[in-house]
Structure 1
Amino acid sequence: MNASVAVVGGGLAGLVSARHLAADGAEMTLFEREESVGGRVRSTRRDGFTFDRGFQVLFTAYPAARRELDYDELDLRRFKPGARLARPGARSVLSDPFRDPGGLAESLVNTEVSTVDKLRTLALRRRLVGVDPDALFDGVDPDALFDGVDPDALFDGGDQSIRAALLERGFSERFIENFAAPFYGGITLDRSLSTSAATFAYTFAMLARGSIAVPADGMGAIPEQLADAARRAGTRIETGTTVDSVTTDGDGGATTSAGGETLDCDAVVVAADPRSARELTGVGSIPTDARGCVTQWYSFDGDLDAGRRLLLNAGDGAPNHVVDHTAVAPEYAPDGETLLSATFLGEPEEGDDALAARTRETLSSWYPERSVGSLSLLHTDRIPFAQFAQPPGFYVDLPGVREPEGSVYLAGDYTEWSSIQGAMESGRRAARAVFEDVE
């Protein structure tokens, strides 16, 4: 491919797009306004601790992640399937017996979820484990996926919220409040479960096929690996450089303006965050309604009995979940230290110290037999735009990679769905579109 291409944005989508285009022979330049790449997937390393930007994990079964990443090089640390449900004075395990036979006994006696709901969950697993994940946001009726109908059926407007889908399929309010709300609320940042059921179906299928994991060096190791691959393929990455404008020249080319300098090229891939991408391209269908969260990181003298499982708040939801990161990835903290995180959904108004006090109060109610007074706040990330909102049917109106005019293309999860899978897949599709159009 004998062409020059600029990529605006060094998140997962931009890095994947740049790597593919450079490998195809394009002369590549990537601009990232921050001092390091990563977009929404970043890690801060300080005093021997690793703080991911919010609670983030990699679903190892994501097709795009398996294609783009070297899992061995990332040295993944895997969570145990399922979760530990917690409320004042009570903690219990609910797990997937197929992937976690050791958790079967505890799951069977778990009283937070009824036996009927457990059986319904296993039946749903059996239906979704064989679904083609690439079809879930590509014209498939989510109702068909839940009910075992031919998954090649065309989308007929039947998408609904996660809550409505679960209720319609016989799951109880007790199951929804005690498990689905905190677990999928953590995935979609929406404890009300008003998010599209298609996102539930996709992530449920991925959990049935793989694990959730983090790299030993933190989630920031993912974009770092992608950036290294893009550089090896020939991409020039300029960090600390903000692109002010993107224009087409009417003759099949495009121009980017960054820091007073202009770059004329054959194509531009805009892989910036949703709001910046909308401003640069004028594409009004890029979604900008946000789901946010606050994640705090604490040192703790001791450990919790969650092991490598998530601790889900089956009570009031503040925080929504707590994680013992050193149980999963000891590399996240200095030797002998315990690192916990707690995630609050939305944009709570309380200050950092007040939220830490809330976490301390919650843990004390979950663990009345032990002291949690040693919990010490280390780091807080307030993330107003962690995902774009994904109501039922959201994917019908998302822009395509060729949506902008001229030789400008989009790459971002907002062309697919809000996830690592969506970002990486969009980067590959944008690169393919450029290759087809410019070549």
Structure 2
Amino acid sequence: MTVPEPLPDAVDVVVVGAGLAGLRAARTVARAGRSVVVCEAGDGVGGRVRTDVVDGFLVDHGFQILNTSYPALRASVDLAALDLRRFVPGAAVRDADGRLHRLADPRRVPSWAPRTALDGLLGVGAKARIAALAVRSLVVPPRTQARAPERSTADELARWGLGGAPTETFLRPFLNGVLGDRDLETSSRVFSLFWRSFALGDLTLPSRGIGAVPAQLAARLPAGTVHLETPAERVGPGLVETARGTVRAGAVIVATEGTVASQLLTGRVPPPRTFALTTQYHVAAEPPTRQALLHLDGAGGPVVNTMVLTAAAPSYSPDHRHLVASTVLGPEPLPETELRRELARLWGTPVGAWEELATVRVPRALPAAIPPTPAGLQHPVDLGDGLFVAGDHRDTPSVQGALVSGRRTAQEALRYLGAGVPSSP
């Protein structure tokens, strides 16, 4: 049995939570030459960005895709060391008549350009407007997009002439999985930045699972910084009380999921509205496809998306078998009989022989960024009295938002302590 390292009595900064925001905050503090400790309630780092091993298969905590265009990701992580495995930048959509449409970004996959141009799921006008939307997101600076006049995503799509069939058959199924937002209430500012990231970046997964990202961040911290299975019981100005002792600090950063942060900070931060996602994993002897392509339901069924993870990342399987991940909105899985019926329809192949592997419920998968949002999409992080709060609920609901929040919150804490603020990374 390994005896955990004792908590220090006092440090410059205590970070509560070893998710992406907390680890990025700790890294920023450590690089400034200040002492830091991270108290994590769980048995591993990553928070909602974790990977478990189930019967030898890599099982991410829900639907995860890593977009390589995120500036904060590129500044924080060695992407080459993650051994990223790429998905086709597009989607396969099963329509209400049972036809399967395979679409890809013709700029990124030129060989698919004729197929995408001739496919009948979307009309010529809709394809042109989607392309124009992408051009706009690339041309307009991100800072301007984050301060643009605001409406819901649904209203923004309608404003671009993409309401009705384009939204219901393609855009809503795609965005539901990305935003967790069934009704597309998410701010048009957030949507615009997401659309930019899709146009610029590769959609990938690390070969050893999404948990490789926080693992790399943690490995860059001084030894003994992160204390696992050390939940914070009380947070106050200058201290964090845990079951393993109290740590005093010049500044305290609460970098947990937003609902937990609100509880720890006793009303200083309102609990955010959140969206839930549930992912169900199956093992198949033969894959329904060998293309690394996200599959969507253009008929509006309950499955948000389904994909063969091993088509992109064979390392997710311990052997020759294949791993299929299927995601639904909400905190509860579909009954297995209903799920298999939907998957057989979406994949166009029998799935009765697939083995159930795992179900991952993420009841607070993403914070909701519903209008009105602050200009710049950044909520305050300095709560006064040396207390600070970080997380994707303070920025955009994304890996980018979590990493940006961790850095800027740590910089605010360092200014409070009178320390020099290091430049990125």
- What TM-score, normalized to structure 1? 0.89
Q: Quick one: which of 42, 51, 54 aligns to 1:34?
A: 42
Q: 1:349 Cα deviation (Å)? A: 6.8
Equivalent position to 1:86, from 89, 94, 102: 94
- Distance of aligned partners of 1:292 and 1:309 in 2 relative to their CA distance in 1, 3 Å threshold: same
The whole-number CA distance in structure 1 between the counterparts of 2:219 and 2:49 is 16
CA offsets 1:88-145 (integer angstroms, 9 cap, x no match)? 53111122111111211221121111110001111111111133224433xx11xxxx
What are the equivalent positions in structure 2 for 1:21-420 lying under 5 Å apart?
A: 21-87=29-95, 89-137=98-146, 140-141=147-148, 158-231=149-222, 236-248=225-237, 254-259=238-243, 261-305=245-289, 307-348=291-332, 350=334, 354=335, 356-368=336-348, 370-395=349-374, 399-402=379-382, 404-420=383-399
CA distance in 1, matches of 2:47, 2:144: 27
Which secondary structure state, in structure 2, belongs to the residue aligned with residue 26 of structure 1? coil
Alpha-carbon distance in structure 2 between the residues aligned to 1:128 and 1:95: 18
Q: CA deviation at 1:76?
A: 0.6
1:394-418 Cα shifts (integer Å, max 9, x gaps): 345964111x221111111111121
Q: Structure 1 residues 173, 284: closer, same or farther in 2, change over 3 A?
A: farther
Q: How far apart are 1:283 and its partner, in Å?
A: 4.4
Q: Does 1:19 align with 2:19?
A: no
Contact 1:27–1:235, Cα closer than 8 Å, also in 2: no
In structure 2, give the amino acid aligned to 1:216: S
- Once residues 370 and 175 of structure 2 are traced to their aligned partners in structure 1, the CA distance between those partners, rounded to angstroms, is 14
| 1:203 to partner: Cα distance | 0.9
| Deviation at residue 367 of structure 1 after TM alignment | 4.5
> Which of 391, 397, 407 lines up with 1:428 in the alignment?
407
Say whether the 8 Å CA contact 1:286–1:399 is kept in structure 2.
no
More divergent stretch after superposition (72-81 vs 312-321): 312-321
Q: Distance in 2 between matches of 1:126 and 1:64?
A: 22
Equivalent-residue separation in structure 2 for 1:310 and 1:35 (angstroms): 31
Kept after mapping to 2: 8 A contact 1:326/1:333: yes
Distance in 2 (alpha carbons) for counterparts of 1:56 and 1:20: 25
Query: TM-score of the superposition, structure 2-length normalised?
Result: 0.91
- Per-residue deviation, 1:29: 0.8
Q: 2: CA distance between counterparts of 1:51 and 1:221?
A: 12
Letter in 1 for 2:236: T
